[in-house]
Amino acid sequence: MKPILAGILLVASIAAHAQAGDDAFKHIYEREYAWRTGQAGVQSSGESLPNNGRLDDVDAASQMRRLAYWNHVLADLAKVDPNTLSPDARINYAIYRDQIGNLAAAQRFGQWQMPFNSDSAFWSDVGYQLGGDSLHTPADVQHYLDRLGQVSTYIDQQIANMRLGLKRGFTVPRAVLDGRDVSIAAVANQKDADATSFFQPMKNLPATWPAAQREGFEAQARKTISEQVIPAYGRLLAFFHDEYMPHARTTLAAEAMPDGKAWYRQQIHEYTTLDLDPDTIHKIGLEQVAKIHQQMLATMAESGFKGSFPEFLAFLRSDPQFYAKTPDELLMRTAWVAKQVDGKLAQFFGLLPRQRFAIVPVPADIAPYYTSGRGGADTYMVNTYDLPSRPLFAMPALTLHESMPGHALQLALAAEQKGQPAFRRDSYISAYGEGWALYAEYLGQEMGIYHTPYEKFGYLSYQMWRAARLVVDTGIHHEGWSRQQAIDYMTENTALSQREIVNEVDRYISWPGQALSYELGYLRILALRHEAEQVLGAKFDLRAFHDTVLELGSVPLPVLEDHVHAWIAKQKG
């Protein structure tokens, strides 16, 4: 056989083999994802996944079926050799294998028995899961009303799950439970169905629909809310007060939980996508805190302040010039930052999304214990509760993180990508997403968004906040820190208000590992940029680098590293 023909046949054979492997892998993930999105309450990296509005079947038997299913998927994946897959499928495999491993681990450790933390809770997510904000046809409304009828059973099953958690000591710590019942009581104590958030979609039905039809929908909603939803929340509130709070664990550390050391290591892997031990992470945190502290001292000197560092922090936390007088002022100052960023984006990114975002206040029922702000592809929520806890000098960094070019940019670009399987398009990997958003704060320096020494200090304080998380999270869950020890550490090292510090520490206590994703993701992205700058020299294109980091969507950090390294090699020629 002639060499050329032999080479052609070999290439064809390899391509056919790769196609067969790709097809087998695709069959696994398409079948699993179709099953997964029919389940209620499934989460990946702490984020709820699409589930078509279902709220049924979260009981213990269903949870065991999930574990068995994902273990079966893992066994199927073990039969696939990723080296035989096409390059694109190989990336998909790395992402999917990690995703299924995390989902199976969550079931194995029984995380469904602790379905809330101090930051978020299943009872607050119900309205979002029902999809009441997307009712466009009468069929949509009827579907919403049918799903509304599932709420009572869903809540009862969650109560039963939490009882199982109480029995084995797998609970949210008692130390962070005070006030977490406010959003339950907002429904449970409501006498008027029309005043609940569940009825809100009925108020937005098109006026062009026949009045009798609209009134029929409204009557059905009132009946279900009054007779089923409100009583279910009442049972949940009674359970929270009478059983959960009195019997919740008095320890703080994840490692103090049943099988806690293994569970904390799994949480670290899920949220960082890296296999780092707690001691290594704690050390990285201490090093970063020391480094940022020196930068903060230099910025304090730049401001002209003559006192000590603790005195400067006290000045920032108390001087009225740094705080909005009304919620609208805070929102408007935030919007001004966002518009400044808009004018700079084209200088830093080659590809920008079509999606735009709104700036809205955090809902009143969750604002007292909610974080300062949270952003997505279409909404940036700003917490206007307790204005003396929301310093204006921190808003530029917060806005860069939560809106553009942070979460709003990254999530919108990911949603607009074509050809990716749904398990990637609809997922969120915390180390990547939060790492990118923290890197967006870093970009604010180059964009010229931090105008005063105070705003620069606000940026550094946010950098310190994320670095201190490495110390505090591992301190609490591995080193045996107390809640007050963690609060004191944050107070001494950041300019965050006391309310923010307490809320954040409670979040770290009740959500182990999640706080680690920000700084570790950011440090990897920044290291990749420095590597590309050093290797490429004059060939380095910052816009192209950013487009490269963003083009795969949410991926584990090792996958991102391989992708950027391939881009560097290609640019180098």
Give percent of the chain with pLDDT exceeding 70.
94
Dump pLDDT digits (tens) for 292-329. Answer: 999 999 999 999 999 999 999 999 999 999 999 999 99
Instruction: State the Cα angle at 290 between 285 and 296, rounded to 5°.
Output: 120
- DSSP, collapsed to helix, strand or coil, labels residue 79 as coil
- Using DSSP, state whether 358 is helix, strand or coil: strand
Helix (H, G, I), strand (E, B) or coil at 375: strand
State the average pLDDT over residues 272-293.
97
Q: How far, in Å, CA of 217 to CA of 215, rounded?
A: 5
Quote the pLDDT of residue 55: 73
> Binning pLDDT at 50, 70 and 90, where does residue 505 land?
very high
Q: Is 167 exposed, middle or buried (0-12, 13-18, 19+ CB in 10 A)?
A: exposed
The pLDDT-based confidence of 93 (bands split at 50, 70, 90) is: very high
38 vs 275, which has greater pLDDT? 275
For the stretch 128-136, contacts whose Cβ atoms lie closer than 8 Å and that sit 24 or more positions apart, written own/partner, are 128/48, 129/40, 129/48, 129/51, 129/53, 129/54, 129/55, 130/53, 130/55, 130/198, 131/53, 132/198, 132/200, 132/201, 133/201, 135/201, 135/204, 135/205
Q: 273: alpha, beta or left, given left = phi > 0 and alpha = psi -120 to 50?
A: left
pLDDT for position 17? 57
Over 80: is that where the pLDDT of 44 sits?
no
Give the pLDDT band (50/70/90) at residue 500: confident
- Does residue 381 sit in helix, strand or coil? strand
pLDDT of residue 126: 87
Q: How many CB atoms lie within 10 A of CB 246?
A: 9
Q: Are 546 and 348 in contact (CB under 8 A)?
A: yes
- More confident position, 499 or 79: 79
Residue owning tokens 């068995």: 68
Mean per-residue pLDDT for 374-386?
A: 94
- Residues 393-425 have pLDDT tens digits of 999 999 999 999 999 999 999 989 888 898 998
**Residue 16: Cβ-neighbour burial (10 angstroms; 0-12, 13-18, 19+):** exposed
CA distances from residue 296 to 311, 348, 393 in whole angstroms, order as listed: 13, 26, 14
pLDDT bin (cut points 50, 70, 90) of residue 449 is: very high
- Which of 72, 64, 58 is CA-nearest to residue 115? 58
Q: Which of 340-349, 367-376, 477-486 has the lowest mean pLDDT?
A: 367-376
- 1 vs 494, which has greater pLDDT? 494
